[in-house]
Every structure is written in structure tokens, then in C-alpha cells.
Amino acid sequence: MRRLIHFESRHQPMASRTVFLNRLTRNAVWSVGVVVVSLAIGSWGYMYFENMRGIDAFANAAMILSGMGPLNPLLTDGGKIFGALYAIASGFLLIGLAGLIMLPIFHRFLHRFHIADSDDEGSVAAPPPERRKP
């Protein structure tokens, strides 16, 4: 399996557009996979601890995972503990997945600036042109 975060170093040329789009796609697919697994865990937790129907558990898990908050009040102690832990984990997950999706874009942006910066380092600046008096 290829590494999830693998980019060219600063001394290598910028990756082609195809490689860049493949990186975006790969990170998006991994992110969707993590969201699906997280929704399954959240749905199971609400069904187990709160005895919710499947659709209600899924809706609560989706709302927590998206950062919106629960739809139904939690009634059991186990459900409240699960809901709190799931909400904390979902908050970190939301930030992490946003970063994972944006990572190839940030890298390409910074790599482009670094290439432009390294091109300027090797050149010697020409002196400013002299001004002639009329």
C-alpha cells in the first residue's frame, strides 16, 4: 500500500496535474471511508446505548459527525457517555479529515512558491537603470 501522505521534496519538480488530481482523489476516498466507518460506529452506539431505531441512530450520528449536534435528547447514562465521547472524537475527526482533503492543495501551493523562490536565489539582480537628466 502506498503511503497516504507522499509528496515530492522541495528539490524535485512539481508533480503533474494528473498526479495532483490522483492525490486529491485518493485523500477524498480515504476521508469518505473514514466517515462511513464513523457513521457505522455512531449508529451502533446510539442503537445499543439509547435503544434508538436504526434511522434515528443514523440521523443522530450524522448530525454529531457533521458538527451540528444531536437531534434527540439522550436518556441513559451509557448513552450520554457514548454521545459525549463520540462528539469529541467527531470534532477531531472533522478537523483532521478537512486537513487531509486539503493537504495536496496546500502542498502544491507551497511547492509552487518554493520553486519560484529558488529560481530567484540563483539569479543576480541587475542594477536599476540610470536616470538621464533632460
Whole-model pTM: value is: 0.73
> Of the candidates 53, 55, 43, which has an alpha carbon nearest to the alpha carbon of residue 83?
43
Confidence class of residue 110 from pLDDT cuts 50, 70 and 90?
confident
The letter for the amino acid at 71 is: L
How much is the pLDDT for 111?
A: 74
In this structure, what is the dihedral angle of CA atoms 70, 72, 77, 81, given to the nearest 10 degrees?
-10
- 18-42 residues labelled b (16+ CB within 10 A) or e (exposed): eebeebbeebeeebeeebeebbebb
Q: Is the per-residue pLDDT at 117 higher than 60?
A: no
C-alpha cell belonging to residue 48: 445499543
Q: Is the per-residue pLDDT at 73 higher than 50?
A: yes
CB atoms within 10 A of CB 7: 17
What domains can be seen in the chain, in order of their start residue?
18-113 (1.10.287.70)
Angstrom distance (rounded) from CA 81 to CA 73: 13
Confidence class of residue 43 from pLDDT cuts 50, 70 and 90?
very high
Q: Is the per-residue pLDDT at 1 higher than 50?
A: no
Confidence class of residue 131 from pLDDT cuts 50, 70 and 90?
low
Cβ pair 65, 87 in contact under 8 A: no
